[in-house]
């Protein structure tokens, strides 16, 4: 049975870079946020978003992620409503993907809100990536062309590093990519030992 290794960390922690490094070793990686973005383009999800949030989050009939983010990160109940639309669809997609990788001893499931969504319960082991908050803010500002205020709202909508670490099996401190990669190699060795034991 394929083991699910959860990989998480706050926004801007560099978890996708770490996920890609795991992938370079031939390990199947599922990036939940990327898949959610694709799923949000489907007509079924678009209709559900229109029903809940109205046409104000659309520009020329195209979903504006910025407008939607502004609404959901200013109101926890709105974020919950969006998650109720997106999470079941991502879960269905992941279940199909998992079947396609049934021969793999383990896969990496990368998700920013692994704990908040409850998906951590499906994981056999969990890795948390941490990075100092200021570095995270700078990364997101450069990547998403957003405002500091909005980044802080998104950070505050997520669990803290302390909360994540308390429920994790491994922690990767991503202060430098070289150090983080060494941690990945260490984790892979431990996973191999566990695999041989089972």
**Structural tokens at position 22:** 């795991």
User: CA of 160: how far to CAs of 31, 128, 186, in Å?
Assistant: 20, 11, 25
Annotated ligand binding at 14? The verdict is yes
Annotated ligand binding at 16? The verdict is yes
The strand pairing partners of 154, in sequence order, are none
Annotated ligand binding at 146? The verdict is no
Burial category of 147 from C-beta neighbours within 10 Å (exposed 0-12, middle 13-18, buried 19 and up): exposed
Pairing of strands 170-173, 29-31: unpaired
* Nearest residue to 92 via CA among 32, 52, 49, 46: 32
Residues at the annotated binding site?
12-17
Known binding positions for ATP:
12-17
């Amino acid at each position: 049975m394929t083991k699910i290794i959860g990989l998480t960390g706050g926004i801007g922690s560099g978890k996708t870079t770490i996920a890609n490094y795991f992938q370079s070793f031939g390990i199947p990686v599922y990036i939940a946020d990327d898949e959610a973005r694709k799923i949000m383009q489907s007509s079924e999800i678009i209709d559900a978003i229109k029903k809940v949030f109205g046409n104000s989050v659309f520009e020329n009939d195209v979903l504006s992620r910025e407008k939607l983010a502004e609404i959901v990160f200013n109101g926890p109940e709105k974020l919950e409503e969006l998650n109720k639309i997106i999470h079941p669809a991502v879960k269905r997609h992941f279940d199909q993907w998992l079947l396609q990788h049934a021969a793999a001893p383990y896969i990496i499931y990368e998700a920013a809100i692994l704990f908040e969504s409850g998906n951590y319960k499906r994981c056999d082991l969990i890795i948390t990536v941490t990075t100092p908050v200021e570095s995270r803010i700078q990364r997101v500002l450069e990547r998403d062309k957003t405002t500091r205020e909005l980044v802080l709202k998104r950070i505050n909508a997520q669990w803290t590093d302390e909360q994540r670490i308390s429920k994790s099996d491994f922690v990767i401190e991503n202060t430098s990519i070289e150090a983080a990669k060494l941690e990945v190699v260490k984790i892979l060795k431990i996973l191999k030992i566990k695999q041989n034991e089972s």
